[in-house]
A and B are shown apart, each in its own frame.
Chain A
Amino acid sequence: MKCQRCGNNKANVVYKQIINGEKTELFLCDKCANDLNLGMNFTFDFNDVFGAFFEEPTFVKTLEKQKNEICDVCGTTYDDFARTGVLGCENCYKVFANKLDNVLKRLHGNNRHVGRKIEKAKVLKDVKVKSKSKIEKLKEKLQEHVKNEEYEKAAQVRDEIKKLEAKDMERGE
């Protein structure tokens, strides 16, 4: 059998991993096993076992992805997280969002927060920013239509803008 990683050399190391009862086997050559630190110097570490919970079921997939995934704020890699079980900063939640969605689901059976939120005032502020930017975009569109003398389209956009502004007024902004 050929090594499943490089596809060239003969595979003589079997790497077995069991995550949540799901067994994955990977057949590797000596060189690839060494590259992945799975050879004779493979150390058994409690954190590695605990970390398996956070890893993706397919080992190969994790290897391919982890290279680009590093938090630009604290420098934590997904591999670090899988090993230690802890994240480095709030930005990690954004960087690893795709994988964390699954991790959180596995841990909690759910991945959407329904508990208390941070003060309503702050949330409203966010909404305001969003709708303002939408209005701004529409205003740019309006200018463009006027410039191109597309007056019918311009009128439609103007009505849309009025509607959004009325909404903001209702919220007391």
Chain B
Amino acid sequence: MSWYLEDGKDSDVVISSRVRLARNIKNIKFPRLAKEEELKNVLEMFKTNKIDKNLHFIKLSDLDTVMQSSLVEKHIISTDLLKASFGGILLNDDENIAIMINEEDHLRIQVMKPGFNLGDALGDALELDDKISEKIEYSFDEKYGFLTACPTNTGTGLRASVMLHLPALRITGKIGRVLDVVNKVNLNVRGVYGEGSEAVGDLYQVSNKTSLGLTEEEIVNNVEGIVKKLVEQERKAREYLKKQGLDFEDKVYRAYGSLVYAKKLSYLECAKLISIVRLGINMGIIKEIDSKKLNKISVFTKPATLQKCLKKEMTPEERDVERGNLIKQIIEK
């Protein structure tokens, strides 16, 4: 089963955990300035060298635009990789290991886990890192560590990030203050899909800002520490909402009703409804649907993934209708 449909530790608040390692290959210019020939060679290196038996090599130009966008929507690749002239991916069947080739750096090793599980994600990423370094020599400096195109990634090349669902903090008006605190402790926090702190579907991503001068474990521990606090705060806010009783339950069930029975649903409206329904499920209010089904709805209603799933390209208006139909199908299954 794809990792993003599963639940993990603290899944009531934490959607997923991700670890990324940026690496470059010794004696080859970083992708932005590398010659065509060099970039082709890098792709070839990973096509012919089997890093891990579970990883499949995909040349990005072999995928159509719907497939490409769907990978972006599922956070498996970045939009920057789509702009790369010789981009590639090493991907496993569960889609929780994705190594981007020729993005800003030659390699971006990514491991994703459902729920709150940065530790395992880091362990898996470092294991892959070892396997690659057995075959390929990295750009490495004793003083600066792993050398990356952007100095914000130099050193460990590590970005540890956690995606959180914080609807109760938003509803109770506490989200702004909570996020300010996170920004002050040298971590980044941003709304997922949204502009600035405005998050679509109350999803926020917390990650480390610095990658040099700390060990990989220290970086992960710092992020974990703050995420634990955010989880606590969100749960407290949910307790407060629960005390509102019927008034709050009514709001939750109205969202559920719209999600299930609406004939036309835009992506934005759908994302907002999913957020409230997810909150309802995790607070034990909604029992008609479980979180696995909701995860499925959440992934398959995104524009490109919806088109990929129905195997046809559609206008936004057509998509709004099909989105409603697909939700009914998933719920009735």
Contacting pair A90 B213 (CB below 8 A): no
Chain B 150-187 interface residues, beta-carbon cutoff 8 Å to A: 150-152, 154-156, 158, 186
A35 to chain B, nearest CB (A): 28
Known: A86-B150, A90-B147, A116-B156. A110 touches B32 (CB 8 A): no
Smallest Cβ-Cβ distance to B29: which chain A residue: A89
Q: Does A9 contact B (CB under 8 A)?
A: no
A108 near B210 with CB under 8 A, answer yes
Once the chains are docked, how many angstroms separate the CA of A87 from the CA of B216? Answer: 23
B33 contacts A74, CB within 8 Å?
yes
Q: How far is the CB of B127 from chain A (nearest CB, A)?
A: 12
B322 within 8 Å of A by Cβ? Answer: no
Q: Which residue of A lies closest to B211 (CB)?
A: A108
Of chain A, the residue at the smallest CB distance from B134 is A119
Please indicate the chain B residues that have their CB under 8 angstroms from the CB of A104 in the complex. 144, 151, 154, 212
Q: Does A24 contact B (CB under 8 A)?
A: no
B262 interface hit (Cβ, 8 Å): no
CA–CA, A116 to B142, complex, Å? Answer: 10
Q: Does B68 contact A (CB under 8 A)?
A: no
B155, A115: Cβ atoms closer than 8 Å: yes
Asked if B126 and A116 sit within 8 Å, CB to CB, the answer is: yes
The residue from A88, A103, A113, A115 contacting B143, defined by CB atoms under 8 A apart: A113
- Interchain CA distance A75-B129 in the complex, whole Å: 30
A87's partner among B142, B149, B155, B213 (CB-CB below 8 A) is: B149
CA distance A109 to B216 in the complex (A): 16
Which of A74, A75, A114 has the most C-beta atoms of chain B within 10 angstroms of its own C-beta? Answer: A114
CB contact list, A106-157 vs B, under 8 A: 107-119, 123
| A100, CB-defined interface residue at 8 Å | yes
Residue from B141, B149, B151, B156 within 8 A of A107 (CB atoms): B151
A109 to B29, CA, bound (A): 27
Contact of A109 among B28, B140, B144, B210 (CB under 8 A): B210
Residues of A contacting B: mostly: loop
Decide: A93 and B216 in contact? CB cutoff 8 A.
no
Residue A57 at the chain B interface, CB threshold 8 Å: no
Quick check: is B24 within 8 A (CB to CB) of the other chain? yes
User: How far is B154's CA from A93's CA once the two chains are assembled, in angstroms?
Assistant: 10
Of B24, B129, B215, the contact of A90 (CB 8 Å cutoff): B24
Residues of B within 8 A of A36 (CB): none
A114 to B146, CA, bound (A): 11
B151 shortest CB reach to chain A, Å: 6
Contact B133–A118 (Cβ < 8 Å) = yes
Which residue among B26, B104, B146, B158 has the maximum number of chain A CB atoms within 10 Å of its CB? Answer: B146
Question: Is B29 a contact partner of A73 (Cβ separation < 8 A)?
Answer: yes
A39 at the interface (CB under 8 A from B): no
Residue with the greatest number of chain B CB neighbours at <10 A, chosen from A85, A87, A109: A87
A76 at the interface (CB under 8 A from B): yes
Distance of B215 from chain A, by nearest CB (Å):
5
Contact A111 B144 (CB under 8 A): yes
Which one of B30, B140, B141, B211 lies within 8 Å of A88 (CB-CB)?
A: B30
16 contacting pairs across A/B (C-beta < 8 A): A74-B29, A86-B104, A87-B149, A87-B150, A88-B29, A88-B32, A90-B26, A107-B152, A108-B210, A111-B213, A113-B141, A113-B154, A114-B213, A114-B215, A115-B214, A116-B156
A74-B33, A88-B33 given; 4 more Cβ-contact pairs under 8 Å: A87-B151, A109-B213, A111-B143, A113-B145
In the A-B complex, the 7 residue pairs with the smallest Cβ-Cβ separation, listed nearest first, are: A110-B213, A113-B145, A115-B156, A90-B139, A108-B212, A108-B210, A88-B33
